[in-house]
Amino acid sequence: MTVSTQARPDQVPVLIIGAGPVGLGLAADLGSRGVPCTIIEQGDGTIYHPRANTVNSRTMEFCRRWGIAQEVRESGAPPDFPQDIVYATGFTGPEFARIARPTHGGHRPLPTTPERPQRCNQIWFDPILRKLVSRFPIVTQRYGCRFESFEMLEDGVIATVRDVATDTVEKISARYVVDCSGGHSGIGKKLGVKQEGSPVLSYHLNIFLKIKEMWTHHDKGKAAFYFLIDKNGAYGSVIEIDGRELWRLGVHGEAYKEQPSEEQLNAVIKRALGDDIPYEVISARRWICRDLVANQFQAPPIFLAGDCVHQHAPSGGFGMNTGMGDAVDLGWKLAGALAGWGGPGLLNSYQAERRPVAQRNVGEATDNVTRSTDPALIALIEDMTPEGEAARKTIGAEIVGTRSKTFISDGIALGYRYESSIVIPDGTPAPRDSVMDYVQTSRPGSRAPHAWVSEGKSTLDLFGRSFVLMRTGSDAPDPATLVKAAKARGVPLDVVSTTDPEIARLYERPLVLVRPDGHVAWRGAAIPDNPLALIDAIRGAV
C-alpha cells in the first residue's frame, strides 16, 4: 500500500462502489442516518435479466424501517397468487410433490415479525431502492461511473474512477470505501482477499420468458416454482416472476459453459414446456453456481459487502438477503465512527459479526443444491405402472421432508446472531440454530423480538436510529446512570418503558439495550455498577 502526499479532492465520508441491491441498501441506510455518501455504478441502472426474487422477512423489516415495505409488497405477483412449490415430471406429466407455503403471499401475519417474506424480483426491488436513495439529498448517485483503482492513505482512500460516457478519469477522496461491486470485485483481489470454497458447483442457463397466464396451458395450477424431474434427473425449473406473464426457466449442465445458439435455446424451452405452451424469449443469461466466502471482509478503511464476499447457490434465496444484512450491519457503525462516538472496535466488529453469518448461509445454500435422490427410483419416475407410482410417492415424500427448508427458512432469515467484542454476553447458552424455525429471544447478539406495541406499530419500529434501552415490566430499574454515561460519550440513546406483559415476556429481562441495527447489545436485571464501561464496550472503545 502506498501513502500519498499529493493534493487531493474534498473528502466524501463514504464511497460505495456498485449500485446493486447491497450498495443501494447501504446508501439508503446511510442516507436515513444523515451520513453523506457517494455511490458509483458502472452501468446505467437498468436491469435486463431477473435474478433474486425472495426478499426474506429480515430484509422486509429493513424495508419497513426505510418506509418502502408496502411498495415492495405491491410489486411482483398479486397477493393471492399461490406460493406453492410443485414437483412434476413435466407440464404434461404427473405431479409428485407439492410444498405449500402458507407464510408467503396472502395477508396472514406471522407472530415473529411484522413483515412476511415477499417475492419481489430485482427488476423491481433495485429500482425501488434507487428511488429511495434519491430521496436523500446527501447521497450522490453516479451511474456510468466505473471504479478503476485505489490508493490507501492514512486517513482514507483515493479512488480513481472513469466516466464511461466521456471516458474521462477523476479522483474521489473518501474517508471510508465500501466495495459492493458483486462477484467480480477487483478491490478484493488487490487487497489480497481470498475466496474460500468452490468457485464452480454447476453451470446454469436462465431464460426469461413471457407466457401469458401460463397456468391455463397445463393442469398444475398457479405456483411460484415448478421443478421438472424426469427419468434422467432434474432438467429444469420454471419460476413465477410477476404472477401474470413473466417466468424464468432455469436449466443446468456442462453444456451451459457456452452460450447456446437460438436453435439450442428453443430446444431447451420445448423440452421443459412441451409443445403446447406458447412463449416469447425476453433474454437468456448463463451463470455459475458457486460456494464462496471471503477470508476477509475488511481492510479498514475499506470494507466489502454482498456478493463480493459471499456467493451462494440461489436455492433458498439467501444471496441478496445476506448482503442486505451486511449493509445494515455496516450502516450504523460507519455513522458512529464518523460522528466520533464509535471507538476503533465498532467498525472492526463488522467482519466478526458478518462472516459467520455468510458461512452459515452459504453452507446451507450449498446443502440445498447438493442433495440427491436414489437414481434407481428416479429411473422409474415417468413409468405409468404400480412401480412408477410407488417411486413417485417415495420421491415426493422425500422431497417434502428434506426440501421444505429450502423454501421456508425463517430461522436463516431472522435467527442469525452476533458474537463480537461489542456484544456483551450474559452467560446464557446459544439457542438451537434452526433453518426453518425462528424462536424470538433477547439474548445478546440476537435480533430484538417483535411484538405489537399498538395497532400497526411493532417494537421493531422503535429501533433503527439510536440505541434504545427497553425497560419492561412494572419495576424496571431507573436508567438515569446509563443515560448519563451515554451522554458523556456522545452515544445516542433513547429509553422506552413499557408494562405490556407480552413485551416483558418476550424481552426476558427488565433491561434490554438494543443497537441502532435492531440487535441486542446487552441485557440485565439492573444497571451495571460501572455504566460508562458498558457504554464504552458497546461503542467499540474497549
Query: Residue 421 Cβ, how far from ligand FAD at the closest point, in Å?
Result: 26
Q: Which is nearer to ligand FAD, 150 or 507 (CB)?
A: 150
Q: How far is residue 127 CA from its own chain's centroid?
A: 16
Closer residue to ligand FAD, CB minimum distance, 215 or 287: 287
Output 51 or 519, the one with its CB closest to ligand FAD.
51
**Count of CB atoms within 10 A of residue 70's CB?**
10
Distances in Å between the Cα of 28 and the Cα atoms of 64, 81, 304, 400 are: 12, 30, 17, 38
Rounded to a whole number of angstroms, the minimum distance from the CB of residue 42 to ligand FAD is 4
Task: Kindly tell me which of 287 and 452 has the beta carbon lying closer to ligand FAD.
Answer: 287
Distance CA 221, CA 98 (A): 11
> Which is nearer to ligand FAD, 13 or 18 (by Cβ)?
18
What minimum distance in Å lies between the beta carbon of 146 and ligand FAD?
4
Which CB, 115 or 307, lies closer to ligand FAD? 307
Q: Say how far apart CA 178 and CA 180 lie, in whole Å.
A: 6
Rounded to the nearest whole angstrom, what is the least distance from the CB of residue 225 to ligand FAD in the complex?
Answer: 11
Residue 155, all three cell numbers: 486517513
CB of 21 to ligand FAD, least distance (A): 5
Parallel, antiparallel or unpaired: strands 85-88 and 95-99: antiparallel
With residues binned 3-state (H G I as helix, E B as strand, rest as coil), the percentages for the chain, rounded to 5, are: 35, 25, 40
Q: Which residues pair with 250 in a beta bridge?
A: 206, 237
Residue 102 has φ and ψ, to the nearest 5°, of -65, -20
Instruction: Pick between residue 321 and residue 472 the one whose CB is nearest to ligand FAD.
Output: 321
Minimum Å gap between C-beta 376 and ligand FAD is 31
Shorter beta-carbon distance to ligand FAD: residue 18 or 516: 18
The answer to whether the peptide bond before residue 301 is cis (omega within 30 degrees of 0) is: yes
The residue nearest ligand FAD at its CB is 20
**CB 61 → ligand FAD: shortest distance, Å?**
14
Phi, psi of 376 (to 5 degrees): -65, -35
CA distances from 261 to 107, 192, 264, 266, 409 (A): 43, 38, 5, 9, 37
Residue ranges that bind ligand FAD, judged by CB under 6 A: 17-23, 40-43, 51-54, 146-147, 180-182, 206, 287, 306-307, 314, 317-321, 323
Measured from the CB of residue 28, what is the shortest distance to ligand FAD in angstroms?
12
**Closest CB 457 distance from ligand FAD, rounded Å:** 28
Which residues 6+ apart lie within 8 Å of 509 measured at CB?
A: 442, 472, 523, 524, 525
Specify the residue, 203 or 452, whose C-beta has the smaller distance to ligand FAD: 203
Min separation Cβ 203 and ligand FAD, Å: 12
Q: Are 41 and 23 in contact (CB under 8 A)?
A: yes
Q: Is the CB of 98 or the CB of 204 nearer to ligand FAD?
A: 204
Beta-carbon count within 10 A of 124 CB: 18
Q: Hey, what's the cell of 95?
A: 405431479
Rounded (5°) CA angle 456-461-463: 165
Q: What sign for the dihedral angle of Cα 351, 467, 501, 528?
A: positive
Give the distance, in angstroms, between the CA of residue 421 and the centroid of all CA atoms in the same chain: 24
Residue with smaller CB distance to ligand FAD, 112 or 361: 361
Grouping H, G, I as helix, E, B as strand and the rest as coil, residue 323 is helix
For residue 267, what are the contacts with CB-CB under 8 A and spacing of at least 6?
none
Pair 479, 527: CB distance under 8 Å: yes
CB of 98 to ligand FAD, least distance (A): 20
Report DSSP state, residue 360: H
Q: Which is nearer to ligand FAD, 309 or 395 (CB)?
A: 309
> Taking the chain, what is the end-to-end CA distance rounded to the nearest angstrom?
28
Place of cell 468457485: 199
CB of 285 to ligand FAD, least distance (A): 8
